Every structure is written in structure tokens, then in C-alpha cells.
Amino acid sequence: MLAVRGLHAYHGRAHILADVALEAGRGEVVALLGRNGAGKSTTLKSIMGLVRPAQGEIVLDGHRLDGLPSWRIARAGLGYVPEDRRIFTDLSVMENLDVGRRERADGRGWTPGRLFALFPNLGEVKERPAGKISGGEQQMLSIARTLMGNPSCILLDEPSEGLAPVIVDLLAAAIRELKSAGVSVVLSEQNLRFAAAVCDRAYVIEKGTIRFSGTMAELAANEAARAG
């Protein structure tokens, strides 16, 4: 599904990512774990084309994405939910979803009704301006709007950050539903408990380099990797 190999990225002369490699299979949920400043967000932005990689290969469904503009990467089937959400606060929840709409040729894609079943909270506030809903609902909306583009793989940047535990549990349930629907998920996280609840495998990044790759069970048994 998604394969990243030999990814390097710079900020000015600073070498931010060094030989990053990760994969996510169809319907697999993969965590990219690390401390603040480790390179998690830069990795996702580089995959999405928001940071131009200096070197490396990014492949989705057999198609090379590296070097393409972000809009073409999105059309190729890669969705991205940024850490700061970037919803349109003056538009209603429904209008935000319409902004993200991209129909599938077979007519079997995500619809508002299907998304309200995934995120019932949004269905209750669908006519409300997005700036007037809670932070947890805004996070759900950001994910739902991205799903309206019918991606085969979705990148989530720190989805649980700053949210109440009950909302984090709702997000975990939604991510498991995405997995069962065949959507691949790569999420950057610091919350190991949340990652353990939803992920099949994990990568640990430190100073722009992958220091660990393995299953969640292998990570749980590796104290040094968890400490990184």
C-alpha cells in the first residue's frame, strides 16, 4: 500500500530526516512514535509533499509520489490530517465535509451519513459552525473531511493530542473502523497507550532516524525503544 524508502529532508542546512523508511499495508494501522522534535511531523509532511524530500522514494498502490505536488498526491489516494486541524471555522460541519468531497467512480465512497455513523458527535452538530464545536469534535471533523476525499491511506499527525480521555477512546474506535474498512493509517503519536490500542506495528524515530521497527508486542518488550 504505502512504502517509504531512504527519505531525507533538510531545513536549510540542517539534516532533519536521515534515511527514513516505513511501510503500511492495506487496512494496517502503523504508529510513528517519538518525542517532540524527533521528526514525526516532518516525516508525514514529506510523504504528503508539503516538505520537499531531498532524496527518497514514496510509493502508494504501486505509484511513485515523491516529487509530486501535494494536490496530486491527494488525488492519488493519500489523505492528511495535520496536527493543527485546519478546519474552516466559519463554515458549518456539513460545509466543511463538502469542501473535502471527491466522488469515487464506483459510488461506494465515504458519505456524510456514513461519516456520522463513524463519528456520531458530528451528526448532532452538523449545521453548527465548525468554530463553535468542541476540540474533540473539530478533530473528528478534520478526519471526516479528509475521508470525504476517499483516500486509500490516511496520515494522522498527533490525533490524540490535547483531547479528553473519553474523546481519545472514541477516536480509537473510529480508527479501528477505518482499519476494518480497508483504509491504511499512519499516525504520529507520543501517546503510547493510544498507539497500543489501535496500531498493528510501530516505528520509533529519534533525531530524524528510525531507531526501532516492529510489532506493538515487540515494542512493549523493548524498554530501550519505548524510552526513545
Segment 127-180, tens digit of pLDDT: 999 999 999 999 999 999 999 999 999 999 999 988 889 989 999 999 999 999
> What's the pLDDT at 104?
66
- Count of the separate structural domains present in the chain: 1
H/E element, 177: helix 165-180
Mean pLDDT of the chain: 92
pLDDT of residue 103: 73
Q: Tens digits of per-residue pLDDT, 8-47?
A: 999 888 899 999 999 999 999 999 999 999 999 999 999 9
Give phi and psi for 59, each to the nearest 5: -125, 130
For residue 197, is pLDDT > 80? yes
Structural domain for 204, as ranges: 2-227
User: Helix (H, G, I), strand (E, B), or coil: what is residue 68?
Assistant: coil
CATH number at residue 21: 3.40.50.300
What is the percent of the chain with per-residue pLDDT over 70, rounded to a whole number? 97
Give the whole-angstrom CA distance, residue 77 versus residue 73.
7
Q: pLDDT grade, residue 221 (50/70/90)?
A: confident
Taking the alpha carbons of 47, 136, 174, 160 in that order, is the dihedral positive or negative? positive
Over residues 70-128, the pLDDT tens digits come to 999 999 999 999 988 889 999 999 999 998 888 766 667 899 999 999 999 999 999 99
Give Cα separations from 14 to 22, 58, 65, 208 (angstroms).
22, 22, 24, 11
Confidence of residue 186 (pLDDT cuts 50, 70, 90): very high
- Ramachandran class of 23: left when φ > 0, alpha when ψ lies in -120 to 50, beta otherwise: beta
d(CA 214, CA 222): 10
In the predicted model, is pLDDT for residue 226 greater than 70?
Answer: no
Q: How far apart are CA 192 and CA 207, in angstroms?
A: 18
What is the structure's pLDDT at 31?
Answer: 97
pLDDT for the residue 77: 94
